[in-house]
A and B are shown apart, each in its own frame.
Chain A
Amino acid sequence: MADTILVVAEQREGKLNRVSFETIAAGQAIGRETGWAVEVVLPGAGQAAGELAKKAVARVMALEGESLRAYTSDAYVAALKAFIAERQPKLVLFPHTYQVRDFAPRLALALERTLIADCTGYKYEGGKLLFTRQMFQGKFAADVSFGGDAPWMATMQTGAFRGDSAADGTAPVETVAAAESAPRVTPHEVFQEAKQTVDLSQAETIVAVGRGIKEQKNLALAEELAKALGGEVAASRPICDNGWLPLDRQIGSSGQTVAPKLYVALGVSGAIQHIVGMKGSRTIVAVNKDPEAPIFEIADVAVVGDLFQVVPALTEEIKKAKA
């Protein structure tokens, strides 16, 4: 067993996914406490490995092979299983991306290990490594420990560590031949749906509605508030799934990422997949009837109340203030 932390970086078509740096930052932080060295592996195209080598890590390994050219879960599991089984790191860290969600649990089980998924942090207590993750849709946090032997595996939530806090350095890059396999999955090109008609990333003010709005006709409340503020209306995913607003107004991991001056969230619970799309907003006002709604954790102003009463009153006050 090597005393190393293996960070599994991510690329698509040769382009590095920047969250890889967040995972390196997490690895470095754990490494400082445990004394374990951080190594990085990049499955697939090697050209992005150079960027990773500018960080303070022991080495960067480009894991290359015909079957890794386009992502498939089968090929990634086969290649990383052989790689990890041989190198026996103490800890394997991944960013919690859609791609990682697709293969990492299976990889862990193939190695007869377990994966603690979607972690927001870690704790190193008396020689024991715990990972913190959200449960119950963010209402609680849990500290989770590993029962079995290393390699231990965990995926880190986007935004849990800052990518720009990853320490710089220079690392050697090695190319490693991947174990080949015959994937059962045939991937096709990645594509975007119909063109966007609104660019919310340019909006200075956004009023976002969540399921607390109850019915489509109540959207008018949000529209009036947005109009009073001179902003755009956006929504959480269930609202767009219902077809009440078009998809290009969906905020979150599968929709738009925005950082307006003012973000007003009405009846949005604050699931992490929504928060990643708006937490960079300068001022966040949240209206929710549940005093423990997770959205309040990142809000500057938390209005605990019924949006059907608060919103019309707020629209009136804003009109007055602007008059």
Chain B
Amino acid sequence: MKILVCIKQVPQKDAPLRLNEQGTWIRDDVSWETNEPDAFALEEALRQKEKHGGEVVAITAGPARAQQVLREALAKGADRAIHLEDERFAQMDAANTARAIAAAIGLEDGGGNFDLIVTGLQSDDFGAAQTGVLLAEILGVPHATIIIGIEKTDGGLKLKRELEAGNYQHIEMPMPAVLTIQSGINKLRYATLIGIKQAKMKPLKKLAWTDVEAKLSPHMQRIERLYVPESRKQTKRIEGPAGEAAKQVVEYLKNEARAL
């Protein structure tokens, strides 16, 4: 199986985020990491390759700093990587991200010929949950979302989808296909020292904005402003030493909430 994994670099989970002066985006002087479900998508791709042979290619669209997520993917076992490198890739809407990735696929030898494309089910920053689905539409191939199990069959794929409230469903579809992967589908591996060393020798192809620009369209949605959401409740805030805080919580539970 020839598999493409879409990996996005997002602010680290614990990073304190601050707004830019215009209030339209965050200040990007934070630490970054691989979007969590994308790490599971990569792991799944590596496991499929280990079972069925083939190649795993990692792709990201983002500024120079995003190369780090590709380096990690290569260190974990991806065979090669593609970096759509430009500041402008960082804030695109999901449709244009998908178009840029589709364009990069088109620039591969023989038009890519990926049997399988995997993405995370959503990004931690945008949370659009759209890029993979849109990529499938652009490529004209079937897709499935929130996947927690992949089995290759003679005719294609047998997949396990997660549904709401503890429900699941198996579905089948032919390849090529795009799947969006749910966190927890597998157990992540760590990069080994040898892996990190080998990664430096693996091919990393860079594509510029101008390589794919013709395939992009005007943004169809725009963030007008970004702000800290208002609290929906009267919240009692307790700070300070743990012993004191604990006393105040118990007071509240006894006297105000009557929950003790």
- Whole-angstrom distance between the Cβ of B260 and the nearest chain A Cβ: 6
Contact B173 A185 (CB under 8 A): yes
Flag whether A116 is at the interface (Cβ < 8 A).
yes
Assuming the contacts A106-B134, A114-B95, A283-B257, asked whether A148 and B250 have C-beta atoms less than 8 A apart, the reply is no
Is the pair B167, A140 in contact by a Cβ cutoff of 8 Å? no
A35-43, A47-55, A168-176, A310-318 - interface stretch: A310-318
Contact B222 A140 (CB under 8 A): no
Query: Does the CB pair B183–A237 fall under 8 Å?
Result: yes
Does A94 lie at the interface of the complex (its beta carbon under 8 Å from any beta carbon of B)? no
Q: Give Cα A114 to B245, complex, Å.
A: 48
B246 close to chain A: CB less than 8 A: yes
In chain A, what residue has the closest Cβ to B162?
A: A254
Chain B, 174-210, CB within 8 A of any chain A CB: 174, 183-184
Interface string of B128-145 (1 = CB under 8 A from A): 111001101110001111
Q: How far is the CB of B97 from chain A (nearest CB, A)?
A: 12
Contact A139 B137 (CB under 8 A): no
A146 sits at the interface (CB 8 A): yes
Residues 130 to 164 of chain B near chain A (Cβ within 8 Å): 130, 133-134, 136-138, 142-146, 161-164
Number of B interface residues, CB 8 Å? 78
A130 B224 Cβ-Cβ under 8 A: yes
Q: Which residue of A lies closest to B238 (CB)?
A: A303
Q: Which of B203-238 contact A (CB under 8 A)?
A: 218-229, 231-238
Q: A101-B133, A141-B226, A304-B238 are in contact. List 13 more A-B contacts (CB 8 A).
A: A98-B161, A101-B146, A105-B134, A106-B137, A144-B222, A145-B221, A185-B173, A186-B172, A186-B173, A283-B253, A300-B233, A304-B237, A320-B250
List chain A positions with a Cβ less than 8 A from chain B.
Answer: 72-74, 97-98, 101-103, 105-106, 109-110, 113-118, 130, 133-148, 184-193, 205, 229, 237-238, 240-241, 247-248, 253-257, 261-262, 269, 282-283, 285, 290-292, 294, 296-306, 309-310, 312-314, 316-318, 320-322
21 A-B residue pairs with Cβ-Cβ distance under 8 Å, sorted by A, are: A73-B133, A98-B161, A103-B133, A109-B138, A134-B127, A135-B126, A146-B221, A147-B221, A147-B222, A148-B220, A184-B173, A188-B172, A191-B168, A253-B165, A262-B253, A262-B257, A300-B234, A300-B236, A303-B249, A312-B242, A314-B249
Interface residues of B (CB under 8 A from A): 11, 13-14, 16-17, 19, 26, 93-95, 124-130, 133-134, 136-138, 142-146, 161-174, 183-184, 218-229, 231-240, 242-243, 245-247, 249-250, 252-254, 257, 259-260
